Amino acid sequence: MSTAIRFSAVKKRFGDFEALKGIDLEVREGEFFALLGPNGAGKTTLISVLGGLTRPDSGSASVMGCDVQADYRAARRQVGIVPQELTFDPFFTVRETLVFQSGYFGLRRNDAWIDELLENLGLADKANANMRALSGGMKRRVMVAQALVHKPPVIVLDEPTAGVDVALRQTLWAFVQRLNDEGHTIVLTTHYLEEAETLCNRIAMLKQGELVALDDKVALMQSHSTRLLSLRLLPDALPAALQPLLVSERDGAYLLRLDDCKQLEPMLACVREAGVSLRDIEIVQPDLESVFLDVMGRKAG
């Protein structure tokens, strides 16, 4: 399978802050690829390097074989990037925005494709609405359409569903999944890990500018097979003896690492001895969120 995106030893520093520490990463053509990490991990900086918006201090990046610096124009035609920030011209309608964006790529008379974008992204009835009159979710849809006007083979979505309601999210993912089925390479960054778990085939995780995990989704989750014990307590206070096992708190429950079922009885004994009552108990199989928390919780080594 050919390579759609390649980062080779990419480093970037902003003053004293080292945002990227020599990233080596390849995304294959046709993949639905997740790039995950906490805030400040370097995801957006890496995407900015790919889009030619940030010049790396060293290393290189290419998209569909085009170097993003040496062959910027060709590289830019190969990728459509949907940024986190909502940026738009308040004086244009939705259709005018897409026509104007098409002009950046020398495209004319692509009305049929613009109409298809508007229809598939639920914007057809907003085509002649002014951009400043749209809701935040609708503006984000327009940004997705802008990134797709030149039909790029590679599509990068940087937190595309942030602040978007459920209906808009479902419409967006249905269209993006269709594009992936048609052969487009999709790269997604998101804090909604259930989206990445559902949609993506392969996953990379960044932490403090370093690549700390990269694998097929199924293999990644199997390699972190530790189960979790979910406890809801009354009063809502985790006994001190169990604090070292705490992975996270989610929906009012404490998630504790459970490496072996033999640990279960001693853990429950700690709860009883602390005079705490169990409101609910559940053994949780690992999901992408628990894998992510495990990887991000590791100390550098």
Look at the domain 3-221 and name its fold. Answer: Rossmann fold (3.40.50)
Task: Give the pLDDT mean for 43-67.
Answer: 95
Burial 155-169 (b: 16+ CB within 10 A, else e): bbbbbbbeebeeebe
How far are the Cα atoms of 32, 49, 102 from residue 105, in angstroms, in the given order?
A: 25, 20, 6
CA dist 222 and 220 (Å) reads 6
Domain ranges of the chain: 3-221, 226-285
| pLDDT digits 0-9 by tens, 193-248 | 999 999 999 999 999 999 999 999 988 887 776 678 899 999 999 999 999 999 88
Largest alpha-carbon pair distance within the chain? Answer: 75
CA dist 141 and 256 (Å) reads 39
- What is the pLDDT at residue 242? 94
Model-level pTM?
A: 0.80
The three-class DSSP label of residue 144 is helix
Report the relative pairing of strands 154-158 and 185-189 from DSSP bridges. parallel
**pLDDT band per the 50, 70, 90 thresholds, residue 265:** very high
- What is the pLDDT at residue 225? 61
Contacts for 219-223 with beta carbons within 8 Å, 24 or more apart?
A: 220/291, 221/286, 221/287, 221/288, 221/291
**pLDDT band per the 50, 70, 90 thresholds, residue 140:** confident
How far are the Cα atoms of 12, 13, 19 from residue 16, in angstroms, in the given order?
A: 11, 7, 9
Least confident of 39-48, 65-74, 184-193, 218-227: 218-227
How far are the Cα atoms of 124, 226, 256, 286 from residue 242, in angstroms, in the given order?
A: 55, 17, 8, 19
Residues 6+ apart with CB under 8 A from 272: none
Tokens of 11: 């480093």
